[in-house]
Structure 1
Amino acid sequence: MASTNDPFQFQEFEEAGNLLEANRDAVTISIEEDNIKPDKQRKAAGFTPDGDDEDPLASDDKTELLSGPNKSVPFWTFEYYQRFFDIETHHVKERIIGSVLPWPGKNFVHVHLRRNPDLYGPFWICTTLVFAIAISGNISNFLVHLGKPNYKYTPEFRKVTIAATAIFSYAWFVPLALWGLLLWRNNKIMNLVSYSFMEIVCVYGYSLAIYIPAVVLWIIPYEWLRWCSIVVAVCLSGSVLVMTFWPAVRDDHPKVIIAILSAIAVLNILLAVGCKAYFFSKPEAVLPADSSAATGLTKAPSST
């Protein structure tokens, strides 16, 4: 039998109650609440367990980003073009500045687009250019005939339609033809540089930004100023296009290189000269109202 003074002998819980009665100020520790109190304190302080740390919206964004490239959306749907209008304002500003001030040796696609073309900037550049051409053409025509008593000003709204047809056809059909040509040549000659259709459209759209201030200068009725602005705009816009598409054709046959780059430059020149010739043509002289009567009518000879 074990001794009563054996320290390893099992003690009854009643002895613990007697000890608490003897010293009521003693501190007790509850093992069950050891894990509960820290949780309550974390919740009270605004902390959540490790499993709840992740925001459900953030996890949804991660899942969407991971599953985004795997989705294939048809190009005739609205969702396909929606991502081309999701762009920050400072990116559009950088691309406009890069198209207006091209730097030699820098490719516009590689430096500014970074495989992320947009349609927001090209759409508004083309739209602004359409209204700038139409409005400037009407104002120029009004200023030329200002002060002539026999001239009655009539706004020509058809200029908006004609300008829109010319600008948007140039900004869409020319890139489409160039994309098809580069794709055909790339199949024949394995080229290291290739551009998508949206990248080519983006480059052409931003290359038209320099024409907006040039068209505004065409309001001033001085032919030398108009032609100087045309030369500057054509050189800047054409240099952006040539430097961008030069890497895509430099490995091709020399005759093909000359033909493609010449076509790019000539179409750019034709757009500028055509807009100037049609919307800002030299006005015809207006004859006085009674001039035809004075010159066309002669006095009948007297019968007597």
Structure 2
Amino acid sequence: MLLLLLLLVVALIKYYARYFDVSSVEFARRLGLAFLPIAPHPPLGDLYATMWIPATLIFTIAVTSNFAAYVAAQSSGASWSYNFHHMLLALSVISGYVGLAPTVLAGLAYWYDVPLAPSSAYSLYGYASAPLVPAAMACIIPHEIIRWSAVGLAFLVSAGFLVRNLVPLISRAVASPWWVVGLVVLAHAGVMVVVKMLFFEYVAVDV
């Protein structure tokens, strides 16, 4: 029994290893393209981005939201203490989104015969998370206009990346369910607003 379990683990490792077989140069190139939604993108399928970019985003949100709270406390003279729950909350929100959204998207793609593999859907959302990292850093600045502008810009870039990759695939489907693109954009906008309101909603200095 133990031998069979070991063989199963080895087989799974060999199977999924191909999804992590991406060089640093190729990863950096794909990451850069995630910030250029108007540029053509190569087929995505690696799961490296699905793990590391959201993990980086979770850590960044936890750190920057606490630092933003510290800046707000200093400006108002209030007391401040590190909020570890922000890490758990960021983990729940981000991992839940990048886990659930591509799962639903892959299911819809299968139902409507859209040529989108599940691995590509997960990879797509992994890279789409990248623009949120600098946006979270910008949200340290205690000005609501700057914060909303950073979140809005990150949304435009990341949503553009999603749309740019989905449109060619959906156009090749027989049914062409264009409403899926609208659903993807709407869900993405909702998550961006949730991130802003949950982690960077503090008393700000008037501009």
Tell me if both proteins adopt one fold, taking TM over 0.5 as the criterion: yes
2:161 is the alignment partner of 1:226: no
Tell me which residue corresponds to 1:158.
85
What secondary structure does 1:153 align onto?
coil
Answering whether residue 109 of structure 2 is matched by residue 182 of structure 1, we say yes
Task: Determine the C-alpha separation between the residues in 2 that align with 1:274 and 1:147.
Answer: 25
Q: Give, in angstroms, the shift of residue 135 of structure 1.
A: 0.7
Of 183, 186, 193, which aligns to 1:266?
A: 186
Sort the Cα spacing of 1:147 and 1:99 in 2 relative to 1 into closer, same or farther, 3 A.
closer
Cα gap change, 1:148 to 1:237, in 2 (>3 Å): closer
CA distance in 2, matches of 1:147, 1:236: 32
Deviation, 1:270, is 1.0
2: CA distance between counterparts of 1:85 and 1:261?
Answer: 27
> Are the equivalent residues in 2 in contact too, given 1:95–1:112 (CA < 8 A)?
no
Paired with 2:33 and 2:166, the residues of 1 have a C-alpha distance of 15
TM-superposed deviation, 1:124: 1.1
Distance 1:170 1:240, change over 3 A: same
Render the CA deviation track for 1:237-260: whole Å, top value 9, x for unaligned.
111111211123234557x31x21
Deviation by residue 1:143-170 (Cα, 9 ceiling, x = unmatched): 1111555x33211111111111111111
Give the conservation status (yes or no) of the 8 Å contact 1:98–1:112. no
2: CA distance, partners of 1:147 / 1:239:
36
Q: Distance in 1 between matches of 2:65 and 2:35?
A: 23
Q: d(CA) in 2 for partners of 1:147 and 1:196?
A: 49
What's the C-alpha RMSD, in Å, of the aligned pairs?
Answer: 2.2
Paired with 1:134 and 1:94, the residues of 2 have a C-alpha distance of: 27
Cα distance in structure 1, aligned partners of 2:13 and 2:83? 34
Q: Which has the larger radius of gyration?
A: 1
| Conserved? CA contact 1:207–1:241, under 8 Å | yes
Q: Report the residue type matching 1:82 in the other structure.
A: A
The answer as to whether partners of 1:99 and 1:206 remain within 8 angstroms in 2 is yes
Q: Which residue of 1 aligns with 2:56?
A: 128
Residues 1:196 and 1:281: Cα distance change in structure 2 (over 3 Å): same
Cα 1:99–1:148 shift into 2, 3 Å: closer
Instruction: Summarize deviations over 1:168-225 as a string: whole Å, max 9, x none.
Output: 1111211111111111111xxxxxx601100110011001111101110000001111
Given that residues 94 and 112 in structure 1 are in contact (C-alpha distance below 8 angstroms), is that contact kept between their aligned partners in structure 2? no
How far off its partner does 1:228 sit? 1.1
Q: 3-state DSSP class of the match of 1:145?
A: helix
Taking the aligned partners of 1:143 and 1:152, their CA distance within structure 2 comes to 11
Which residue of structure 1 aligns with residue 200 of structure 2? Answer: 280
Match of 2:32 in 1: 97
**Paired residue total:** 196
SS of aligned partner of 1:146: helix
Give distance in 1, aligned partners of 2:66 and 2:168. 41
User: In the alignment, does 2:95 pair up with 1:168?
Assistant: yes
- Native 8 Å contact 2:62 2:86 kept in 1: yes
Distance in 2, Cα, partners of 1:240 & 1:248: 13
Matched with 1:118 is 46
Query: In the alignment, residue 219 of structure 1 is paired with which amino acid?
Result: I
Q: Note the residue ranges of structure 2 that are not aligned, 5 or more in a row.
A: 1-7
Relative contact order, higher structure (CA 8 A, sep 6+): 2
Distance 2:165 2:76 in 1: 49
Deviation at 1:282, TM superposition (A): 2.6
Rounded Cα–Cα distance in structure 1 between residues aligned with 2:70 and 2:174: 50
2:124 is equivalent to residue 206 of structure 1:
no
